[in-house]
Amino acid sequence: MPHTITGWLFDLYPSPHGVTLWFIDEDGGKHRRFSAFVPSFFLHVHGFDVQRAEVLGARCPTPVSLTRATRTEIYSGDSLEVLHVHVHDPMRFRDVVWYYERFFPHFAFCNSDILVAQLFLYETQLFPLAFGDYEFDDNGRLADWTLRDSREATDYKLPPFSIMLLRNANDFVPPKYQKHLQLELTYDNQTYLLEQETPREVLDALNWHLHRCDPDIILTDYGDSVLMPKITELARRYNVPLLLNRDQDASYVTTKESSFFQYGKIVHKDGAFELAGRWHVDATNSMTVAEADLDGLFEMARLTQMCGQRQGRASIGTSMSSLQLSWAYRNGILIPSKKREPEDFKSAATLLLADRGGLIFNPPLGYHESVAELDFVSMYPTIMVEHNVSPETVNCRCCRNSNVPELGYTICEKREGIVPATLRAVVKKRAYYKAMKKKYKGKDEILFRRYDHRQNALKWMLVSCFGYLGYKNARFGKIEAHESVNAFSRDAILTAKEIAESHGFHLLHAIIDCIWLKKQGATEREYEELAREIARKAGIDISLEGIYTWILFPASKMDPDITTANRYAGWYNHGEMKIRGVEARRRDTPKFIKNMQSAMLERMSGARTVEELRGAVPELLDIVRNFISLLRSGKANPMDLVLRRHVAKEADEYTNNSISAVVSKLVKEMGVPLAAGESIEFIIIDRSGKKKPEKAKPLALYAFEDGYDIEQYTEFALKAAETLLLPFGYDVEALKEHLGLPTPIHKRVAQTGRLLSLKRTALVKQIPLFRMRLHS
């Protein structure tokens, strides 16, 4: 009989006659229902090709129907006559697209590479975790719904989730490098170790816990790459049906791992292992979860209309793209399967002006007192929203103006672009979450963390939206829009600089959307008044981040006489340390080195002036001495010396004998080949390779008797100390001399002494032989 479920749309995936839907009601009950849905795509063809497409449709192995339709082309705004291809088996949607792709060029296809579940959400304007009243007919098919929720909502209710943590109990090294796994389950505040003797018993125990907990979300570490594939392989081998899928009629959805270039480096992405009726979330394969926890994942899934499991594994650009695709679908705009808009022609002079990034003023080397940091609030997204910067609005065909500073590009005045239209709500939501985070800081830890996670998830989306404008494969991307945002940002920084200097402030440093100012005796109120004036004239909100009691701009690693824009450490007058780019902050720094530099910064935090910092130098040197003494005694914990690097190639592709090559080959010998872009943890045992044939040992093969390369880790420690102490005259060589460590001069003297000694010994040994020859 017809009935209504009040609750949340949780999961969805295609089925032969539509879409399978899972709901969670207010009491935590789970319900499987269905919705009739026919996914479709468009073909932009003319003349004979129209009849050809219809004939192909009649011959297609999957039932399809074709109708004529009118849709809008985004760049011109023109209405186009297109063929609307309806696929009557959603499970075969991609097969039908591939079938037509054999006969028509890629630029003829629109809306053809969107997942069926997303097409359903775009069509219905539903979204994951949407709360409402859902009505069903006698057959359990979705008939109607009334939402009590929206994607723009900020204080929304979430389902009463049941969550299970599934991991490998031995986390000394990632499970990829372990031959035998020992599963550990956590739910309802209890942890269970599956210690059964046979694989079949382990699988039976896992099923028992899955039935008992019936988790909505299974949260794993290395679940995509190791745990789920190994568990399901064992289940196939021993013929044990698993309860991983809540829907036992559905299959697992898996994708292959991949390696690709991103911002000049190679990146590895594990494949996916998705479940039906539950969410499998691999924390090690999800940037969203890594940066913003599950709160961020829930926020992003709701906003982007991407299913929770897919959103958890999506790149930031893919999330941004989904926002734009939904807007385009809703507004009848064709979504090209490939980027079509070429770069506009430019003169050499225009190219020189346009092909520049944001503005940077490098800071003076060393420590500085009473420096204020002012940050533009969401600068690039705000520029796009306020100035209507979008691929189809920059150099549009209908307007004539020169609104873009320096470049003179035109920006459309007649229609709002897809980028500002989709970003406006995101900017507004993040501003609200940041305000709530500030409100609950120190008052309610749960709410503070919730709002912090949500704003952090949106932060990464807003960060990516600018880069996505210029991405070569972005369907709604155009390099001129990317260049326009940079031009507006440079103009805003220069405006801020001029205003600040007109009020007697000195610009110490600027990087893209932040400025560091100094004025003798300036108060917090003066800086806030300055920020208001800059915001008014630049058209972008700018806020006082804080006033540093002291701030350090350390020397570049390449040139000790200059600084770099993104490395600094400073102590705010409200009692908080901020560090960027130095060893204590970097992911590739061993924990031991981080601990040493953090101890130094902790001691420095009490200083109020540069002179007080100078007075603390003896204590800082003592900290360095203590850490290095422990290091050189051979008693440092090797686990604190672990380094993590990303391998650029597969093991067989290395032609040198670098540490990465050595480690990759050792791991491959274990039977675990590394793909390009994967990370590997190791400990350096002899960087020179003279004492031991293996320069470094992968953590999975390391034994404590292997020791570590004392000289190499000492060098790491000295360089970290130099970062903070160089302005006081202590570079690596001065530190070595102060600590009584061998310097290059000492080494040369020692080597020379040893050489002379060897020569003298050799000469003495030769004298008797020489005399014998004289007498013979």
pLDDT along the chain (776 residues), means of 10: 94 96 97 97 94 96 96 92 97 97 91 96 98 96 97 97 93 70 93 89 96 97 93 95 96 88 74 97 95 97 97 91 95 85 66 76 95 95 95 91 91 94 94 95 95 95 80 78 93 97 96 95 96 96 96 91 92 94 94 98 94 97 98 96 89 83 86 83 88 84 92 97 96 96 63 45 39 35
Please say whether the dihedral angle defined by the alpha carbons of residues 710, 711, 712 and 718, taken in this order, is positive or negative.
positive
The stretches of 331-357 forming alpha helices (DSSP H) are 348-354
Nearest Cα neighbor of 658 from 674, 669, 647 is 647
Q: Are 183 and 169 in contact (CB under 8 A)?
A: yes
Question: CA 714, 717, 723: angle at the middle one, nearest 5?
Answer: 140
- Please, which residues bridge with residue 7 across strands? 25, 132
| β-strands 3-15, 18-25 pairing | antiparallel
What is the token pair recorded at 456?
């952090």
Hey, what are 246's tokens?
């809540």
Is residue 87 within 8 Å of residue 40, measured between CB atoms? yes
Contacts of residue 221, defined as CB under 8 A and 6 or more positions apart, other chains included, come to 167, 168, 171, 175, 227, 282, 283, 284
Check residue 603 and give its pLDDT: 96
pLDDT on residue 357:
77
CB atoms within 10 A of CB 144: 11
pLDDT at res. 647: 85
pTM for the whole structure: 0.88
Q: Where are the alpha helices (DSSP H) in 35-151?
A: 48-59, 93-101, 116-124
Q: What is the pLDDT of residues 35-48, one digit of tens each?
A: 999 999 999 999 89
Q: Report how far residue 243's alpha carbon sits from residue 515's, in angstroms, rounded to the nearest whole number.
A: 55
Give the pLDDT confidence score for residue 774 in this predicted structure.
33
Q: Helix, strand, or coil here: 36? A: strand
How far apart CA 81 and CA 83 sit, in angstroms, is 7
Cα 41 from Cα 127, distance rounded (Å): 21
Question: What are the Cα distances from residue 746, in Å, to 85, 88, 536?
Answer: 79, 81, 61
Residue 309, C-beta contacts closer than 8 angstroms, at least 6 positions apart: 11, 272, 274, 275, 279, 280, 281
- Structural class in CATH, domain 353-581: alpha beta
Which long-range CB contacts under 8 A does 435-441 form with residues at least 24 apart? none
| pLDDT tens, position by position, 307-362 | 999 999 998 888 989 999 999 999 999 999 876 556 666 667 667 667 777 889 99
How far is the C-alpha of 766 from the C-alpha of 171, rounded, in Å?
61
CA angle 577, 581, 585 (to 5 degrees): 60
